[in-house]
Amino acid sequence: MKVSVIRMSSLLYLGVLMLAMVASDMIDDCLNSNRSYYMNIVLLEDNTYEWSMPLVKAAVEQAILADKQENDKYGLDFTLTANFNGFNTNLYKRQGCGSSTCEGLTILKKLNANGEVGCVMLGPSCTYATYQLVDENIGLRLTIPIISAGSFGLSCDYKPKLTRILPPARKICDFFLHFMNETLPFKEPWSRFYVYKKTNNASEDCFWYINALTAQTNKFMLGTNTEPIHGEEGLKKLFQSPKRHSNILILCGNTDEMISVKELVGQIPKDFLFILIDVYNPDYYLNTTSSAGMESVLVVTLPQRNYTSSSSFNETINDYVAGYHDGTLLFGKALRERMLSMQKYNGTDNGSLGDNPFGNISFYGMGGHYVLDEYGDRDVNFSIIYTSYKTLLLFDTSLNKTINYTQNPTLPWAGNKLPPDEPKMPDEFDMQEIIVIVLSLSVVVVTGVALIFYRQNRKERCLQKKWSHIEPHLIGPLDEKEVSLKIDEDKRKDSIYFRQRGRYDKKPVIMKELKTTEGDFTEDQRIELNTLLRIDYYNLTKFYGTVKFEYGVYGVFELCQRGSLRYILSDRISYPDETFMDMEFKISVMYDIAKGMSYLHSSNIAVHGRLKSSNCVVDNRMVVKITDFGCNTMLNTGKDLWTAPEHLRKFGVSPKGDVYSYAIIAHEIVMRQAPFYTEYCTDVREKIYRLQHPIGHNVFRPDLNFEGVSDREIELYTLIKNCWEEDPELRPDFKRIELTLGNIFSNLHNQATETYMDNLIRRLQMYSRTLEKLVEERTALYKAERDRADRLNFMLLPGPVVRSLKETGSVEPELFEEVTIYFSDIVGFTTLCYYSTPMEVVDMLNEIYKNFDSILDHHDVYKVETIGDAYMVASGLPKRNGNRHALDIAHMALDILSFVGTFELEHLPGIPLWIRIGVHSGPCAAGVVGKKMPRYCLFGDTVNTASRMESTGLPLRIHVSQSTINILQRTDCKFEYEKRGETYLKGKGKMMTYWLTGVTGGSYNLPTPPSAENFQSLQKDLAEMIVLSLEKRGGDSFKKRKTLSTKIRRRETNSSAQSDSLPEYFHLAVTENPSTYL
């Protein structure tokens, strides 16, 4: 136990420390940024709420002026500014706080995207909205603090960025938990309570205070014997019952609501006590005497407030307005203290970053003295006011104990004390009560015995028709391609239900894994399976039995091969709007589901429990059938968007819950949107949360707009709304739904009845009318996709190779007697990479090779590949072109070299591009290598020699072999060349080679190549040029790159002098060297 306490204490200390560091970082981030110190105020515009924007705006502006005056005293020249972001919830059926979540979130997303979040945010007051901002999992993860006068709910507790200027629900729970256990001269310890939960019109504070007191995980519920009372009916039953387990009822509201409760219940027992939570009502200190309806009532409220304000808005001041006024002062105080601290230590870090600016702080404001705990929540002294509107005691939430109480108060209960929590039971029963009890017990015993015999007889009758496992060999593949029913074990383990299609007794079936692996079913499960065997209805899928494989037991059900209704609604290509947007077709689909559910509810199964659009399947005749019914002991129900609200709150199934699920499916059919579609709220978890926690009568439902619809559609929409009523008793049953849809359908055709065959034929005709159009659209899509694939293939492989692959599926290797191969690479590429980022290297190569590719388009050549900075081109293959292959490669090489002479690197201005080019002619073989990412590759000694010609060449030179020169001499084009002499090639020995320098009469603007002497220092000169280029761009860009080795030093001369003294080959120029005419 001692170790656990130490561990919990350590965790608590760590949490407080992290909270402090986060908040201080927020303040420092605001101080260190260049943005102005402005605040965003995000509140409702509706004046009916005490924290609405029109009421708060003037108070915040006055607080900003007061803060400026305080800054002037210390000589600080900064002023807070406010950005007011009001919003309303008129688009929602449930307005106000109940629908503030999506609107507030939209505003914050917009501010966050525009970089306008400011230094702090005031508001929202609504718990739903604030939770979406501060929760670690689904919140926006803002980096600024939030100050809220409200946000009372437990879901907003212990959030590092949130400060609540009014006491949250956690403080109310702590008060009741500790106060009830206290012993005072006029009070005994209590442990039994009732808590009254209103079903509608609860204020924001009352809703969350009462919700917290009744939360199952709350310390108050865990530490006491508390029973919630729901609505006025529950309140009546409580006081009508002669047996109560407590004398204390906790409720929240004002004096008028308290009086209404007493009038509702009638006579109040003398030993009964009401505890009214009315925290923000100052009227108790204005009246000297209480009304008769406030007898036997204790009121929990705040101490008397004296708002210190002389502004014109004084009449509108309340605790919320004062809270936002003082929240502005709090933020200004935190900024001011931080600035003064930084000035004191000359702008250096004085080690105070661990102090939380909003935690463990106290200050004075319009609302009086504020004390915030370590989590930034306000601590107060709750006043307990008794019958004569006099203060009975004060309770300090920071200490969690009573700090002052009235001696000898005049109380209306016996002994001048508060009543005990447990009612006194009568000592003896009278004779009439004994007779009633005996008769009641007799009726219960007789009824129980009769029920046992009935259930036993019913079980025997249900078990009379027994099924047997279908032999596995009777389950065949659905088509010829399916040759095995073997299950992938990994997939089976990753899913609750494994589904496998097959064929049984010439019928397509689907097998669903049941929650048993041995095939030993319980008695209840056998009854369910026998009941399923007796179900035979054309709007319900047929159950054929079970099949046992070595890896599990599966139920065999009828397969509807078009798939689920959810799939069909989402597939707008196969099932276009022309088919499903027709009102007649929508009603037909809804009618099928209603008939299936009507039959199911009248059968022994009685309820589905898992009804959703994915459990409604469509067969080849476009008839909708319901599946996954029955087997409630083997299949899970789950909670999702189709689940009725009452079953989201409390696990279970019911026929009325199926009606609600049907309404959600009908909405999907009518709107053809995602399940539970709403325009302003798309998060599934938020939708389920708002379904579970409605506020009053403003329940959360999908969007359904009645504007601009026909009379028939209005009748259909009204039916849907009736089906998703919050009160299950107000929802129609499926018999009524079937009758209503039948009438609507008959009126569409002006006939009283329509047979099943008429309906089926009409639907098939409607569907067939769209098939021709669909085939045309699919054919056009296929042709476009085929053309796109062909274009891509021709970019990757030569045209003849692609055509051979398409026609025969293979490419035979081919020998070419004579081709010319070109190789080039970038000189100093390693040095360039040394001074460039990886992305700059990629952009550089991409820009160079895009221009090379453009040059290739003007010559009869084929680009083989690029590997890093190496570029390989061939001519004479895969299409032979006589002697033109050498001619085309020569012209292409001159064009590339001419382009290189004018190209500058974008990220290194002034740095030229040098390449080496090697060309050789001879025989080679070519073919496609590999099946994955196939490549057209060249093989032979000609390839190796061309590569050696490139590697032994010089920068800005075209190195040509004797064989290529011989071919060029046989052409009509006169090329200019220089004889290099014998050159040693690895693996070949010495060969006579040449420099190709141009074409007679050509206008090639070739760069000046370096001499052999220059080449020795070329790498060093290139490195120094790059350093100078980076220095010209600025120090920051130079610092971001790696520095050169210690052997290379920065020259002391200025950059202009360096530029003037560069070697000639660093400048672009036209060469005029003597040439030999070919």
- CATH topology (fold) of 174-301+390-416: Rossmann fold (3.40.50)
Q: Which helix (H) or strand (E) holds 670?
A: helix 655-671
Position 228 scores a pLDDT of 92
Angle, helices 127-134 vs 100-113, to 10°: value is: 40
Per-residue pLDDT, averaged over 404-427, amounts to: 83
In this structure, what DSSP letter does residue 377 have?
Answer: B
Position 36 scores a pLDDT of 64
Top-tier CATH class for 797-1066: alpha beta
Superfamily covering domain 12-167+308-381: Response regulator (3.40.50.2300)
Task: Please list, in sequence order, all residues whose beta carbon lies within 8 angstroms of the beta carbon of residue 974, skipping any fewer than 6 positions away.
Answer: 999, 1000, 1001, 1077, 1078
pLDDT at 1035 over 80: no
Task: Report in angstroms the alpha-carbon separations of 903 from 874, 975, 993.
Answer: 24, 24, 28
User: What is residue 989's three-state secondary structure?
Assistant: strand
Residue ranges, CATH 3.30.70.1230, the chain: 797-1066
Q: Which helix (H) or strand (E) holds 546?
A: strand 543-549
Q: Is the backbone peptide bond immediately before 124 cis, with ω within 30 degrees of 0?
A: yes
pLDDT at 93 over 90: no
More confident residue, 943 or 697: 943
- Over the stretch 889-937, which tens digit does the pLDDT of each residue have? 999 999 999 998 888 888 887 778 889 999 999 999 988 877 777 778 8
Position 757 scores a pLDDT of 62
Position 310 scores a pLDDT of 52
**Residues of the chain above pLDDT 90, percent:** 24
Angle, helices 734-749 vs 711-723, to 10°: value is: 170
Average pLDDT for the chain: 80
Q: Give the tokens for residue 473.
A: 């060999």
**Residues of the chain above pLDDT 70, percent:** 79
E strands, 827-895, in order? 862-867, 870-875
- Over the stretch 517-572, which tens digit does the pLDDT of each residue have? 566 788 888 888 888 888 889 899 999 988 888 778 888 999 998 889 999 888 88
pLDDT confidence of 491, banded at 50, 70, 90?
very low
Superfamily covering domain 465-559: Phosphorylase Kinase; domain 1 (3.30.200.20)
Among the listed residues 383, 386, 441, the one whose alpha carbon sits nearest the alpha carbon of residue 409 = 386
Position 446 scores a pLDDT of 87
- Over the stretch 139-157, which tens digit does the pLDDT of each residue have? 677 778 899 999 999 888 8
Position 574 scores a pLDDT of 77
Place of tokens 């505890």: 275
- Over the stretch 1049-1076, which tens digit does the pLDDT of each residue have? 333 333 333 444 444 444 443 333 333 3
Residue ranges, CATH 1.10.510.10, the chain: 563-795
Position 285 scores a pLDDT of 83
pLDDT at 32 over 70: no
- Over the stretch 342-374, which tens digit does the pLDDT of each residue have? 888 766 555 443 334 688 888 889 888 899 999
| Global pTM value | 0.44
Per-residue pLDDT, averaged over 171-181, amounts to: 91
pLDDT confidence of 642, banded at 50, 70, 90?
very high
pLDDT confidence of 807, banded at 50, 70, 90?
low
Q: How crowded is residue 310: how many other Cβ atoms within 10 Å of its Cβ?
A: 7
Listed range (111-120, 352-361, 392-401, 574-583) with the worst mean pLDDT: 352-361
Residue ranges, CATH 3.40.50.2300, the chain: 12-167+308-381
Position 5 scores a pLDDT of 33
Listed range (311-320, 673-682, 757-766, 988-997) with the worst mean pLDDT: 757-766
Which CATH number, 1.10.510.10, 3.90.1150.10, 3.30.465.10, 3.40.50.300, labels domain 563-795? Answer: 1.10.510.10
